[in-house]
Amino acid sequence: RMKGCLSFDGSVCAEALWDHVTMDDQELGFKAGDVIEVVDATNKEWWWGRVLDSEGWFPASFVRLRVNQDEPMEEYLANLDGASEGGGASMEGPLGPGLPCKEQMRANVINEIMSTERDYIKHLKDICEGYIKQCRKRTDMFTEEQLRTIFGNIDELYRFQKKFLKALEKKFNKDHPHLSEIGSCFLEHQTNFQIYSEYCNNHPNACVQLSKVMKIKKYVFFFEACRLLQKMIDISLDGFLLTPVQKICKYPLQLAELLKYTNPQHRDYKDVEAALNAMKNVARLINERKRRLENIDKIAQWQSSIEDWEGEDILSRSSDLIFSGDLTKISQPQAKGQQRMFFLFDHQLVFCKKDLLRRDILYYKGRLDMDQMQVVDVEDGKDKDFNVSVKNALKLCSPGGEEVHLLCAKKPEQKQRWLRAFADEREQVQHDLETGFTITEVQKKQAMLNASKRHQTGKPKGEFCQVDVFFLLLYVKYSGYSVETHFS
């Protein structure tokens, strides 16, 4: 074991997670919560550190690095120069030379990224060759549809990750890991990481399908035989299948750690910074897609609760509720005000009438195609198109002006919230177009089928408003309990 570098105020610090009690005078004792100055982190398992006047070795697993390690490297090096010029201890102590701590930590993070990436490739290979390959031979036990549900697009992940690892290996500096420049690899492949979205979204279905077959003993024996034949570690198949979900979430954490120990003057700094943002966006996109897929069941259930529904299903074009609330609707040629409950989805605006006695029952009254509508802010006063005085109003107009709808809110802040919601709807449609977000016909049909089954169980209509927090929160937060007519 070698003692590496000197330490100064602001150098790398760690916080003790557990007590470290030792009788060895070469080891450092501390209590949980103590702050330890990390002097040498060359060895992955044992680090050299200092607490007050005591120094010694301690297990790295007993501590966590503190989040804020933002001392500039040039200050640190200046301190080292000052120490050696002033007759202080030299960099080459009695136990040997070492890198400055932050460079050591950067090397450790780089080595960790490379090591986990190689392990992950082996993991994916074992699943593809140890499980999928064997399952395909047993057509008496598995259909292609079952295999697709259980394993998702893991073979696609395997092909991509092999290319990604090759790119990392090219940028990896074996002799001096801290000099490696791997940030560009993440930037070059950031769009490819989006294939994880399909895998993550399918994972809950995989768990359901796997739990079904694992109730049958021959499948339990078969999967165990596959694991033993491939010489895989003793983890169940569902544990192996969870790894890609965990992996895509780990990249931003690894890159954040790498950035923390990268000198701003390092050639890799800007690329690592950009890579961190890129991988955060990938994780955000995957989470957003997961949320949208979870929402389609709620939307299908909402539609099944609406009386007198006409036309195509809401899921045929939409997958997210953006806003909802009460508005007074005025349409030509009658120019008569009608109180309606509006639901703004991506691509369409649905409006319903409340039952006079049962306010939780809604009757479908129509919808507007938001792809064909322009939103116009209307000033308070007389409206020339409808020849009525309006307050807190906005208009929805078709491009040619053939179709015009006047909508009035109860309060000015509600009108502003609706204007923001319409802008959000257009932004989301554009974002979905750019990212290629779609919901498959199978997913839509399944959601509608689930909603239909639930509706047929005899659930009281009133239950919709009691349990569907998804719509209820929006209603309570942004809507009045009644809407007055805002014209004279």
Q: 275-279, 447-451, 472-476 — which is least confidently predicted? A: 472-476
- pLDDT tens column, 133-159: 999 999 999 999 999 999 999 999 999
Range with the poorest average pLDDT among 50-64, 72-86, 137-151 = 72-86
pLDDT band at residue 100 under the 50/70/90 scheme: low
241's CB contacts (< 8 A; 6+ apart) are: 127, 150, 151, 154, 203, 206, 207, 210
Report yes or no: 474 and 325 within 8 Å, Cβ to Cβ. yes
Strand-pair category, 404-408 with 321-331: antiparallel
Residue 357 pLDDT more than 70? yes
The SS3 of residue 440 is coil
Query: Residue 268: pLDDT above 90?
Result: yes
Confidence of residue 1 (pLDDT cuts 50, 70, 90): very low
The answer to whether the predicted template modeling score (pTM) of the entire model surpasses 0.75 is no
Burial per residue of 237-253, b for 16 or more beta-carbon CB atoms within 10 angstroms, e otherwise: beebbebbeebbebbbe
Q: What is the pLDDT of residues 145-197, one digit of tens each?
A: 999 999 999 999 999 999 999 999 999 999 999 999 999 999 999 989 989 98
Region 280-309: mean pLDDT is 88
The four Cα atoms 17, 18, 23, 29 give a dihedral, to 10 degrees, of: 40
Residue 451 pLDDT grade (very low, low, confident, very high; cuts 50, 70, 90): confident
pLDDT in tens, 316-339: 999 999 999 999 998 776 667 899
Which one, of 57, 67, 68, 61, lies nearest residue 17 by Cα?
61
